[in-house]
Structure formats: C-alpha cells, structure tokens
C-alpha cells in the first residue's frame, strides 16, 4: 500500500508540473519516467503471477487441448495437468500422445476423398424437400435424387443432423374423454396415497388366432427345388375365418391370477363380465363397479386391450376387505346407460330420448335397435346436445343440432381431407398450376374499389347446395361450384356439372381422400368436363369413364394472396375457392357468424381440411357456400 501511495504521489507531482505551464519540458520527462517505471513494475508482476499460477493465462486459450500442451511443455505432469484443468487423466494422455505423433494441435486429416459437386447438390435438394414435407423415407429420397441409399443416410444423419422416425399411432381422445380419464387417474392416485395399493389389480385380455403363425422373413426352408421344400412343409394352410380364443389374466402385488379362457362367441356385457371371470372365478362377492367397463359388446374383434382394473378379491387388502372394479372403455350398455364411440358411458335422460326421436323424424333417419346402432347414435346425440348447450352458455349462439349430431368423430373425418393428403397435393402440384398469374393488392382507383358488402345470393347467382356424403371430395364440389356460379352470373345459364368426373379422372388427386382445386381446374382446362346427368355422383372413387362426351371447359383461373384481392376478385370477377382447417365445433354450425378462435392444424379439436366457396363478404365476415347439403348451416336455420 505504501508503494502504491508513492506511485500516485509521483504521478500527481508530474501532472502538476506539466499542467501549470511553468516548466512543461520537466513535467513531460517526469511523466515519461513515471510511465516507464509503472510498465516495468507491471511486467515483473505479470511474470511472477504467470510462474506462480500459469493456469490463469492458459484457460483463455482457444481450446483445452492447447492448454494441455502448454502445461506439458512447462514440465507439468499428467496428474497435475488433469487436476489444474479439471479433466480426466485419459483425456490428457490422449492429447499429449496426439501432439507427439502429429506435432500439431489439429485433428487428424479425414480419410477418403472430399464430397463432389453432385453430392453437394443432392444435399441442398434433400434439405429443400425435407423443409417442404418431412414425411419422406430414406428410400424415397434416394429414388427421387437418383443416388444411393447409403449416401442419403449419410447426408441426412451426418450432414443435416436428422434421423428417420417411424409413424406412431395414438388414440384420438375428445375433451370429455380426457376429463373422464383424469378423474380415474386421480382416483388411482388417491388409492396409492391412502396406502391401498394392495387393492389394485392390473389386467389385460386379448384374442388369439387358433392357427399356425410364422414370419415370412425369418422362417425359411433350404431345399433344391420348390417341390422338395413343399414336401418339408413349405405350404402352410390358413383358414379364411380362423377360430379365435379370448384369454384374460391379471397381476397384483402378491401374484398373478390364473388365466381365464372365455367360451367361443360368448356375448360379454357388464353383468356377464362381473361374473366371468371376476365373481365366479376369483371374488368372494360381487365387486362394486366404478365407472364404465372396458369391454366389447360382441367378441368378434381380433384383439383389444383392457386397461386398469381396481379390485379386491385376489389382491384383497387384508386390513379392510373392500372391493372395487374400475376400467375405461366400451361395453354393452346397462339400463339407462349408452356407450359413446370414444369409449365413455353416458347417462341418457328421457329428454335426450325424446329429442332424439324428433331428430330422427326431422332428418328422416332410422336405426336398428337389434345391432346396438340405435343406442350408439343416441349416446352421440346426447353428448352433442350437452356440447351445444355448453357453447350457448359461452355465447356461441351460432351452434345448434345439425344432421351430424349423431355422427362419430371418425365418420366426420371421412368428409374432410387429412393433413397428409393436403401436403401430398402441394408437393404433386402441376408445374403449369404453379405458374398461374397472381393478383396482388395494389392501389386502385375509386371506380374499381369494391363495396363494403356484397352477396351473390341477392342476384340469384348461387346454385343449389349439394351434399358430398361420406367422401372427402370437397375439392371437386368446390371446383364445380366455381364454374356453375360463373356460368350463371355471365350467361344466366344454370348448369349442373359433374363432380364424379373429377373424383374419378382428375390426375394428381386422391379421390375421396383429398384433392386440389388448382389441379382440378388444370385438368378441366386440358380435358374439359361434363354434366351431372351424364356422369352422376356416386360418393366413391371409381374407374374413369373416358367414353363420356365432355364439352365444358375452364380457360383462366387465378391464385389470390390476400383478403383485399379476394374481395376485389369476388366482386368484379367471380366466386373464390379456399381451403381451411376444420374444428370439431364447425359441424354444429347453424346460423350466424362462425368465429374459430384457433385455426392451427395442431389444435386438439382439429379434424381435417376442407374446401368451400366464397360467394360474398361484409366488413366483418365472409359468406361461404358449403357442400354438406341442407341439413347444416343457414339452410337448416331457414335462411
């Protein structure tokens, strides 16, 4: 501290001489001497610190390898280097050995030749394809790029740092099903927290085919000829309708249950299930059922899984002796209980039954009670009524009971296009379609500006609503509705064109699994189309009938990029087709302004993609025409 004080005092004196102006030369020499003295002191200090603590300087080097070599040159041992740098001893030994062998800090040169230009182009092409659609296999990428599978795997795994993963099927769960599952999980957790784990039985049941099974890949017979192999049992007979056997078993804290084999074609309902195998085989008394059972009403399926069961009896807690049986899933309904397609049992009230009878009469539907279809439809209808009532309480007055009120989620999805189909349509779009002219939003004169509101229906330019049925052919209906409306607007000619022609014959589309309006219009511009009376709609994809005369043609069509261009084109030219994501509540639309709060295809309520046609607009909403018949939307509401 005294030495530092002397340095500061010397600096103040020199600065005073230099700043006073009385003797600037002496002040300048004094400052130079002071700066030189300070530099010498700092240099000696740094040298001392470096010799005492060298790791403080080495830690800022480019890599730990350089630090290891620097310490090694200073004579430090391997153990000391590892301790100072906090590294493993073997890592230090490898770095020193590599330095002795190569004489440098760099890595060993890689073996083989550098990648050529063709591989670099393939890498860019693969990267672009995966960016557009990651659902591709290595074999497909190799075939498209005309390169080997090994090269594709190296580019994808090593260069792009990606890996190929298989698709995995998951069970689609509704919000109500998730809520019921959450309740059961909480009950299971409560049993564990209450130390009642001895009351829990995990069980499973499955079907087995009573015929010989083998792997075609691994089961082989080595023989000289096919006849010789046949003599050794190469041909394995398989029955078209093999017999099945259902086996049930369970496991708990103190052991396993004996396997229970059900009789062939035995009809299992809740009562039968509680008696066989539980009540008659394992339980001293009838267990208490908590929640719906995980059963199939008719045992004709190949396999199904019974989830978690809570019970006593074999896994009985000796302290309290309580009995319970819990499992989620489907089962044959008891009195007043109906099973929904998602597997949850719902109580159906008399009001639901009466409303369902009115619903069947209004929409002219009939179901048989013998095969259980009436009960299943009633359960879905009751669930829809509760969902619509909840939506009304939340202010969604546009919802109501439509023709889809008794349809399951799987049936509704058949009317939509999946995300895979939409992606495939985008990838397989025709080059001519991709070069269509684009209408951008530019500054327009006051004469060209469309009005704030416009509706094709007020001019009688909208053709009657059609119904696509259980077929994802909305793209074909949307294409036909575009042309029908244009013919009606410009030539006052009511045409009923054929959607089936596009479903069967429009190349590049998937029929009832999805399609693209642009590809359909391109097909019509090249091949023309015909009328409904000559090529009626069937609701399924069939073989293309090329013998039918086609005389309707599309010449010009445009791709629109923003809302202002859509309104401009809709007013001055014609209707506009568009595709959007459909949520589950869209099937409940009756009248009013439908507002989807979340339009992402990753939403929990997302069910598919759908095409419709814009036939008008207002400042706050678009007016669209659908292809779901008159049992949905404004026609159902009487508008």
What pLDDT digit, counting tens, does each position of 181-240 carry? 888 888 877 777 776 666 677 777 777 777 767 777 677 788 888 888 888 777 877 777
Q: For the residues 316-343, what does the mean pLDDT come to?
A: 39
The owner of tokens 């020199």 is 14
Which residues have a Cβ under 8 Å from the Cβ of 211 and sit 6 or more positions away?
A: 238, 239, 242, 243
List 325's β-bridge partners, or say none.
289
Positions of E strands within 210-350: 244-252, 255-256, 260-261, 308-310, 337-339, 345-347
Dihedral, CA of residue 363, residue 365, residue 369 and residue 370, to nearest 10? -170
User: Which pLDDT does position 602 carry in this prediction?
Assistant: 62
- Element (H or E) spanning 205, and its range? strand 200-209
Burial class (CB in 10 A: 0-12, 13-18, 19+), 72: middle
- In angstroms, rounded to a whole number, what is the distance separating the alpha carbons of residues 616 and 235? 66
Handedness of CA 473, 479, 480, 484 (dihedral sign): positive
Burial class (CB in 10 A: 0-12, 13-18, 19+), 573: middle
Handedness of CA 578, 579, 581, 582 (dihedral sign): positive
- In angstroms, rounded to a whole number, what is the distance separating the alpha carbons of residues 69 and 103? 11
| Nearest residue to 475 (alpha-carbon basis) of 400, 554, 422, 396 | 422
The owner of tokens 């997302």 is 606
- In angstroms, rounded to a whole number, what is the distance separating the alpha carbons of residues 10 and 16? 10
Residue 417 per-residue DSSP state: B
Q: Which two tokens stand for residue 126?
A: 């693969």
pLDDT in tens, 94-113: 888 888 888 877 766 666 66
Q: For the residues 439-463, what does the mean pLDDT come to?
A: 73
Question: Within 10 Å of residue 439's Cβ, how many Cβ atoms?
Answer: 17
Taking only Cα atoms into account, the Rg of the chain, rounded to an integer number of angstroms, comes to 39
Asked whether the beta carbons of 247 and 208 are under 8 A apart, the reply is yes
Checking if the pLDDT of 439 tops 60, the result is no
Q: Which residues are catalytic, by number?
A: 474, 610, 626
pTM for this prediction? 0.48
Residue 244 per-residue DSSP state: E
Q: For the residues 285-290, what does the mean pLDDT come to?
A: 41
Checking if the pLDDT of 59 tops 70, the result is no
The owner of tokens 């939403």 is 603
- In angstroms, rounded to a whole number, what is the distance separating the alpha carbons of residues 602 and 609? 12
For residue 228, the number of C-alpha atoms closer than 13 Å in the C-beta half-sphere is 6
Which residues have a Cβ under 8 Å from the Cβ of 118 and sit 6 or more positions away?
A: 147
- Element (H or E) spanning 231, and its range? helix 226-231
Q: Which two tokens stand for residue 268?
A: 């299992």
User: Which pLDDT does position 603 carry in this prediction?
Assistant: 65
pLDDT in tens, 370-406: 778 888 899 999 999 999 999 999 888 889 999 999 9
Cis before 277 (ω within 30): yes
Confidence band, pLDDT 50/70/90 cuts, at residue 473: very high
Q: For the residues 260-281, what does the mean pLDDT come to?
A: 57
Q: Which two tokens stand for residue 527?
A: 């091949």
- CATH code that applies to domain 411-635: 3.90.70.10
DSSP string, 481-536: HHHHHHHHHHH-----B-SHHHHHH-TT--GGG---HHHHHHHHHHH-B-BTTTS-
User: Which pLDDT does position 622 carry in this prediction?
Assistant: 92
Q: Which residue has the higher pLDDT, 619 or 275?
A: 619
| Nearest residue to 480 (alpha-carbon basis) of 458, 493, 492, 463 | 463
């Amino acid at each position: 501290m005294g030495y530092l004080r002397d340095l500061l005092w010397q600096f103040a004196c020199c600065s005073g001489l230099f700043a006073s102006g009385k003797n600037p030369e002496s002040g300048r020499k004094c400052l130079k001497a002071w700066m030189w003295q300070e530099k010498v002191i700092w240099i000696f200090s740094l040298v001392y610190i470096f010799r005492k603590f060298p790791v403080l300087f080495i830690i800022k080097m480019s890599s730990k390898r350089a630090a290891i070599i620097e310490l090694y040159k200073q004579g430090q041992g391997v153990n000391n280097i590892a301790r100072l740098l906090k590294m493993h001893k073997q890592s230090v030994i490898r770095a020193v050995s590599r330095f002795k062998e190569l004489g440098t800090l760099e890595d060993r040169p890689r073996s083989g030749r550098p990648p050529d230009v063709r591989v670099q182009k393939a890498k860019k092409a693969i990267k672009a394809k995966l960016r557009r659609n990651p659902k591709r296999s290595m074999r497909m990428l190799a075939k498209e790029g005309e390169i080997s599978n090994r090269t594709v795997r190296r580019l994808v795994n090593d260069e792009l740092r990606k890996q190929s993963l298989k698709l995995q099927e998951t069970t689609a769960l509704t919000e109500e099903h998730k809520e019921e599952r959450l309740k059961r999980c909480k009950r299971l957790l409560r049993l564990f927290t209450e130390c009642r784990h001895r009351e829990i039985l995990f069980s499973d049941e499955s079907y087995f085919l009573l015929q010989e099974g083998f792997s075609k890949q691994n089961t082989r017979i080595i023989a000289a000829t096919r006849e010789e192999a046949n003599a050794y049992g190469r041909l394995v007979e398989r029955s078209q309708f093999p017999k099945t056997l259902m086996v049930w078993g369970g496991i708990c804290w103190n052991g396993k249950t004996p396997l229970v084999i059900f009789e062939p074609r035995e009809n299992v309902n809740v009562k039968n299930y509680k008696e066989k195998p539980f009540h008659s085989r394992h339980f001293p008394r009838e267990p208490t059922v908590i929640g719906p059972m995980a059963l199939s009403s008719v045992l004709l399926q190949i396999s199904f899984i019974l989830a978690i069961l809570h019970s006593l009896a074999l896994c009985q807690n000796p302290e309290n002796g309580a009995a319970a049986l819990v499992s989620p899933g489907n089962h044959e309904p008891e009195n007043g209980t109906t099973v929904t397609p998602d597997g949850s049992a719902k109580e159906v009230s008399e009001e639901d039954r009466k409303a369902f009878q009115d619903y069947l009469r209004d929409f002219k539907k009939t179901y048989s009670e013998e095969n259980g279809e009436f009960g299943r439809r009633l359960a879905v209808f009751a669930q829809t009524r509760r969902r619509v009532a909840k939506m009304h309480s939340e202010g969604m007055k546009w919802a109501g009971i439509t023709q889809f009120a008794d349809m399951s989620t799987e049936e509704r999805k058949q009317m939509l296009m999946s995300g895979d189909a939409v992606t495939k349509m985008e990838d397989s779009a025709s080059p001519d379609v991709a070069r269509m002219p684009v209408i951008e939003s530019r500054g327009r004169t006051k004469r060209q500006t469309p009005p704030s509101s416009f509706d094709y229906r007020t001019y009688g330019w909208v053709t009657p609503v059609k119904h696509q049925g259980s077929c994802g052919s909305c793209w074909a209906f949307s294409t036909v509705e575009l042309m029908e409306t244009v013919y009606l607007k410009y030539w006052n000619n009511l045409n009923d064109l054929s959607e089936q022609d596009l479903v069967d014959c429009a190349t590049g589309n998937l029929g009832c699994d999805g399609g693209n309006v642009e590809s359909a219009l391109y097909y019509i511009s090249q091949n023309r189309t015909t009328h409904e009376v000559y090529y009626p709609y069937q609701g399924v994809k069939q073989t293309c009938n090329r013998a039918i005369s086609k005389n309707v043609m599309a010449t010009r069509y445009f791709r629109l990029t923003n809302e202002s261009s859509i309104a401009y084109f809709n007013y001055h030219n014609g209707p506009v087709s568009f595709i959007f994501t459909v949520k589950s509540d869209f099937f409940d639309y009756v009248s009013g302004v439908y507002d989807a709060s979340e339009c992402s295809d990753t939403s929990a309520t997302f069910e598919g993609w759908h095409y419709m046609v814009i036939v008008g607009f207002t400042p706050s909403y678009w007016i669209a025409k659908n292809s779901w018949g008159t049992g949905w939307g404004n026609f159902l509401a009487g508008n």
